[in-house]
Amino acid sequence: MRTERETMFRHVVLLAWTPDATDEQKAAVLTALGTLPGAIPQIRSYAFGADAGVSPGNHDLAIVADFDDAEDYAVYRDHPVHQAVIAERIKPILASRAAVQFEV
Amino acid sequence: MRTERETMFRHVVLLAWTPDATDEQKAAVLTALGTLPGAIPQIRSYAFGADAGVSPGNHDLAIVADFDDAEDYAVYRDHPVHQAVIAERIKPILASRAAVQFEV
């Protein structure tokens, strides 16, 4: 579904943290994610945030990232700065992950 | 994280279908979702789409919906037209659901 502009390739990922994840670890993920738009020029739009806590059973963090096309998404996916955030900040506290990519 | 405009309340949901869900059932969900922005004026932006199939293990459908605030999201969540789509189109083929609401 197109909403505002030309076709984009949107990556949506929802993450849930382990019960023993600390507030510091969760905050470090947000800080690290905030560095990605400056490091990966293929990112056209990047929104993320911790769950607002209004719905029981939710995951804990959402990322919505827009790219020009699937190729630019793949650059982001495999980018070493992104991979470092995953390995160093996300994986140590990751309990569950759900993702979809779709054209908007 | 704010990207383009004033603060919004974003609802992100990822759905996975049962193995026996038919193409017709999956298409009927998309058609039904397309009626919601016209039926629920609290929806400020509504993007959804079937997974592009570029990543193994993904969920099957994403919905990204923006509202002015959590109260408007709650109107959408509980709206009878939305609840009918869930009951009649989504629930019969739903295998898994993940959601996050966050401020953008």
Does any domain span residue A44? yes
Does any domain span residue A54? yes
Split at pLDDT 50, 70, 90, the class of A5 is low
ipTM > 0.90 (yes/no): yes
DSSP state of B93: G
Does any domain span residue B52? yes
**CATH number of the domain that B49 lies in?**
3.30.70.100
Chain B's closest residue to A5, CA to CA, is: B47
Nearest 5°: the CA angle A37, A49, A77 is 40
pLDDT at B3 over 80: no
Query: What are the chain A neighbours of B62 within 8 Å (beta carbons)?
Result: 10, 12, 100, 102
CB contact under 8 A, A101 and B1: no
Q: Show the domain range for A76.
A: 22-103
The pLDDT score that the predictor gives to residue A83 is 98
pLDDT at A1 over 90: no
Does any domain span residue B1? no
Does any domain span residue B3? no
Q: Token match 């099957």: residue?
A: B60
Give chain A's domain count: 1
pLDDT tens-place string over residues B47-73: 999 999 999 999 999 999 999 999 999
pLDDT tens-place string over residues A7-63: 999 999 999 999 999 999 999 999 999 999 999 999 999 999 999 999 999 999 999
Task: Report the distance separating Cα B104 and Cα B85, nearest Å.
Answer: 26
pLDDT tens-place string over residues B68-91: 999 999 999 999 999 999 999 999
DSSP assignment of A71-98 equals: HHHHHHHH-HHHHHHIIIIIGGGEEEEE
Query: What are the chain B neighbours of A3 within 8 Å (beta carbons)?
Result: 45-47
Query: Sheet containing A94-103: which strands, arranged edge to edge?
Result: A45-50, A61-67, A9-17, A94-103
Task: Report the distance separating Cα B67 and Cα B22, nearest Å.
Answer: 32
Does any domain span residue A3? no
Which distant-in-sequence residues (6+ apart) come within 8 Å of A59 by Cβ? A14, A15, A16, A51, A96, A98, B98, B99, B100
Task: Report the distance separating Cα A46 and Cα B45, nearest Å.
Answer: 16
CB contact under 8 A, B10 and A46: no
Q: Token match 């400056």: residue?
A: A38
A96 forms beta bridges with A16
DSSP assignment of B28-88 equals: HHHHHHHTHHHH-TT-SEEEEEE--S-STT--SEEEEEEESSHHHHHHHHH-HHHHHHIII
B22 forms beta bridges with none
Across the range A79-102, mean pLDDT stands at: 98
Does any domain span residue A80? yes
Does any domain span residue B77? yes
Query: What are the chain B neighbours of A74 within 8 Å (beta carbons)?
Result: 54
Task: Report the distance separating Cα A37 and Cα A39, nearest Å.
Answer: 5
Exposure class string for A61-77: b at 16+ Cβ within 10 A, else e:
bbbbbbbeebebbbebb
The pLDDT score that the predictor gives to residue B6 is 80
